[in-house]
Chain A
């Protein structure tokens, strides 16, 4: 243990100075590219590969040192078993993190394309670059949150904050399951069910459609092409849609019409997202994946409270009011003050 400590002390100074010099050089070059590193990508990648090679050389001895530390830890009998176990697990975690980062760096230096979920933060491997960035700008790094909402007042039923950056289609079934569990929470004798789900082209997946149809949910609101959906399909088209989904006996033509209208006006979800973003969901301030879940969940609950207030006060758009009438939702009067729940 002493031997490793001595070795580490001597190497720490060297490594710190080397890393500092590299960082300084990198900052100098990055400054040439202007704001946010915009510039010729080719030059930047070349520089990045050179820097990565040097960093890999610097950190090449970490694996050997970690192995030695593991061996020394096994011999350290003066430490209690629980302490040794705790230290060994910490060491293994640090070793695994370094291995992941070095594998990614080697792939980059060899000119190969990186995998979908690359590590962008050594302290939080769950953060991923989001593909929804602006063009000609660096991709934002963080998390891709998913929401499922109703189309009238923008009440959000459930959220999902997965690790990394999975495809949009993978969000649908977990979110639908959460809504289903919320429906099951209702004690009153109401017969509520999910009739249809609408999404953008990113959700278009044949397997997902089949699963939704198997659960009795229409997928006509999910487009197959970039063309906008027909908000008022003909009776023949409705029959075709029902036959295609195999839901002739489960869903009515009126429900298909509503699903088409809902799919056509799907961009209204952007206003629900904007409402959540203006409450601070655009930047996760809490730590780690759990913090992200808590922040988004609390933001969405606050948003839902505001949405219910809007319903009570009838501060809804014409489209939303029309949709509520079609869905047979209750109309509240302005002077109908609800009793306090406190």
Chain B
């Protein structure tokens, strides 16, 4: 086995690995990534798929959080202060979830315009605003107002 031959073997093996990895990554990027939408996106664009998981983020609108009474379904409204999306979530809400704070939910848009959440992601740090939420608020032109409100 000469040095050249050995190097060729390595290159072939390396390319093979990279090829397999690239194939895996490309198929996964096709259907395994999750898009983010602001409430305005959902209300104004009508082509949001209803059969696919998406994420929606914004502020939890003050006075809209209805805690469950007989079942475990929490209902609240997520807003970017321009448009609202009603959310329902069955399960235990994270400790840091509050009205008036930023939140990102993961789930599916229903045909009736309701959003059924599978996960509610509130953040570790109360000072922290998810970047997508900040962006959504900036886009709706309401970013400053919330800052002042604080």
A and B are interacting partners: no
Measured CB to CB, the residues of B under 8 A from A are none
